[in-house]
Each structure stands twice: as structure tokens, then as C-alpha cells.
Amino acid sequence: MTKHKPDTKVTTLGRDPEANFGIVNPPIYRASTILYPTVEALRNPPTGHNQLRYGRYGTPTTFSLQEAIADLEGAAGTVAVSSGAAAITAALAAFVETGDHVLVVDCAYEPGRKFCDGVLKRFGVRTTYFDPALGAGVARLFEPRTKAILLEAPGSLTFEMQDVPAIARVARQHGIKTLVDNTWATPLYFKPLAHGADVSIISATKYIGGHSDLMMGLISANAESFEQLRAGAYAFGHHASPEDCWLALRGLRTLAVRLKRHHETGLIVARWLQARTEVKRVMHPALPQDPGHALWKRDFTGASGLFSAVLHPVTPRQFAAFCDHLELHGMGASWGGYESLALPSDPRRARTVCPWNEDGELIRFHAGLEDPDDLIADLEAGFARMKQA
């Protein structure tokens, strides 16, 4: 890893102006064919990571991004793929074969669960879901053929924290790989590998892109796991477009300042919601009342702008009156852009171990880069509409 502090790293990593006529940003190198000058060179192509060989394995633009993220994650290497979902599936598939078993935290991102219940199952790999609060107790679920554990801290929609170091420690003792979906925190606020995990997965669609116009996944692994991960991802033909890598690099340059603001605004809005009589509870691990707060405080260095709130029960008409006319909070999937979102969500479909029993509506909020006063005024007007409906 380079020596600089994180804010400096995001502005310097993956750049080499001298190699590109003094141009500040790595240019977009597009390529499929790479020509070899001699038979000798053709028969001995470069095979290392981040070496130019064939377009599918990336170009210097891809390598700039992969090198930057690997440094931030403290990883032996990073592979860029076409989406966060592809990053999850490529990472899981790299470590299992027929007859194996994987453990997946119950609050994991739903499309990852679908991959386990569909594709992995068809290929003879079984999945057991587990309670995010189990910690090292997850060892009770280990089987002789358990090969991987997938964590996501905090979890999708409901934001349960997990004790990543404790789980990774028992997993390592049994030769099981620990994979962490690190999309929420990004490597700036949590470093899975430094906490014992083998693989860190991020949907760069979210905060790395940062502008709601990019789809990409990044998978990073430690030295013991990287070759297996890379070979697995390339066997499936995964690839990330050089344009998209260039956009991800552009997003990376401002990641530190954006995240700081998302963290601050997210907490301001979350605290305001917590004090509202319409709100039953707020799920945000940086709030001291949150059950995951101690773990968050111990392992993370910041929070992003994504959290949820459960409302006290209201009629569908009242709920629609709140959601349908918000001016600054959009309703849509994905998050991590500069803009705020308020997305009605239902965790019921995506839980099998810890049933979701709330009878009020859950709204997942993304605090964007707007002024928090305006965001609060927008929500306040929504509650007023709800009351009148």
C-alpha cells in the first residue's frame, strides 16, 4: 500500500501523467485486439494481472482503476466487472464446486441470495442463511464442505452489523473464505481484508461512480485468494468497459469529500426522523441507539448516507401522500449518487432466518449532497400531507 492518507490516495492512485503526454487523468484506452510484433512475443504473452494481453482482460484505463482500488482495499489485486451483482456472483462462484456449501448472512443483498438459491443450487452447491448477530457462533453451521461465507455489513434495507473479524477468524481456522460486500462503507470507511476477510466486493455503481450514471462491480482479494478469484472471474468472461473504468476513476477523485458529506447529512436526517412521532425506529449503525453501534464504532471509520426508517402504521393513502409528492427525495433503486432518495422497501421477501415482523412501512433513505435543511423541510411537508390524507 502507498504511504499517503486516504484523502490523498483517492486523488493520486492509478495516475501516471508521464505515461500519457502529461495528461492528468488516465485516458480511455479502448481495445479488443492487441498486436504482438514477433512470433516469440505472441507465444509468450504477458499473463500477469494489470498487463496488456487482450481487450477482455482490460486496458491501461482498467488497470489504473484496479490498482487504485487494490491499494485502498489493501488487497493483492482487484478485478473490475460489469456490475455489483456480477461481482457477488463471480466471487462466490470462484470458490465453490459441486457438493460444496456456502453460508450467507440473512440480510445480504437480495439478487445475491437469488443467485445462491437458483444458479448455485442448480450446480449442486447448497446455501444456509444465518442470523447477522451470530458472530463467531456461525461456526456451529460449518459443514465439512463449507467453502465460503458471504457477509454484508451493514445489511441491505435493515442495516444489521456483523462481527466481521470474529467470523473471519473462525472461518480461517476451517479453511473457509470470508467474502464481504463492502458497498455501504467503501474501502474509505471499512477495510474488510484488514479485518480478516479474504475478499471485498463493492458495487461501484454506488459511491465510487457517485453520479447515478454508472454500473460496475469491483472485487478485491488477499494474496492467498486473488489468483483463484481472478481465474474464476475471467473464466466467466467478465469485463468492465474502459469508459466505465474512466468514469469510476473520475468518481473516485471526489469520493472522500462526498462521503464525508453523505455521512454528516445522513446523521442529521436520521436524528431528525428519530424524533418524529410518525417514525417507530431508525436503522443506522452510527446512531448510538442502534444495536450494531458498538461494532460499527470499533471497526468502521465513517458512515455513508444510506439508512432506513420504519413508520408507525398508516393507511396506504396516507403513505402515498407522503411518498408521492416529495420534491427532493426520488423513488428508485440504487443509491450512492449525489441526490437524495426515499424508497419504500419490503425486507419480508428477502429474509428466511430473521423474519421481518414490522407492520409499519419501511423507507430506505439515501441522504444526498443537498442542504440538510432542505431535505428535512421536504420530509416535514411529506408528514404534513400524510396527516391530512
Ligand X SMILES: *Cc1c(COP(=O)(O)O)cnc(C)c1O
Which residues contact ligand X by CB under 6 A? 83-85, 88, 109, 152, 156, 181, 183, 203, 205-206, 215, 217, 334
- The DSSP line for 170-183 is HHHHTTPEEEEE-T
Write down the catalytic residue from 206, 230, 253, 281.
206
CB 333, min distance to ligand X, A = 8
Q: Annotated catalytic residue: which of 100, 106, 163, 181? A: 181
Which residue lies nearest ligand X, judged by its C-beta?
A: 84
Catalytic residue among 109, 129, 189, 207: 109
- Give least dist CB 247 to ligand X, A: 13
User: Cβ closer to ligand X: 220 or 318?
Assistant: 220
CA–CA separation, 241 and 362 (whole Å): 36
How far apart CA 345 and CA 337 sit, in angstroms, is 19
56 among known catalytic residues: yes
Burial 11-31 (b: 16+ CB within 10 A, else e): eebbbeeeeeeeeeebebbeb
Respond yes or no: is residue 364 known to be catalytic: no
Q: Which is nearer to ligand X, 139 or 215 (CB)?
A: 215
Residue 304 C-beta: closest distance to ligand X, Å: 10
Is residue 181 part of the annotated active site? The answer reads yes
Q: Which residues pair with 199 in a beta bridge?
A: 179, 221
Active-site residue, 297 included:
no
CB 52 within 8 A of CB 34: yes
Nearer to ligand X, 215 or 367 (CB): 215
For residue 357, what are the CA distances in angstroms to 7, 133, 164, 336? Answer: 41, 17, 26, 28
Nearest to 23, CA basis, from 60, 72, 69:
60
Closer CB to ligand X, 85 or 279, in the complex? 85
Tell me the three cell numbers of residue 42: 505472441
Question: Which of residues 228 and 334 has its CB atom nearest to ligand X in the complex?
Answer: 334
Q: How far is the CB of 41 from ligand X (least distance, A)?
A: 37
153: cell is 455489513
Q: CB of residue 88 vs ligand X: minimum separation in angstroms?
A: 6
Catalytic residues: 56, 109, 181, 206
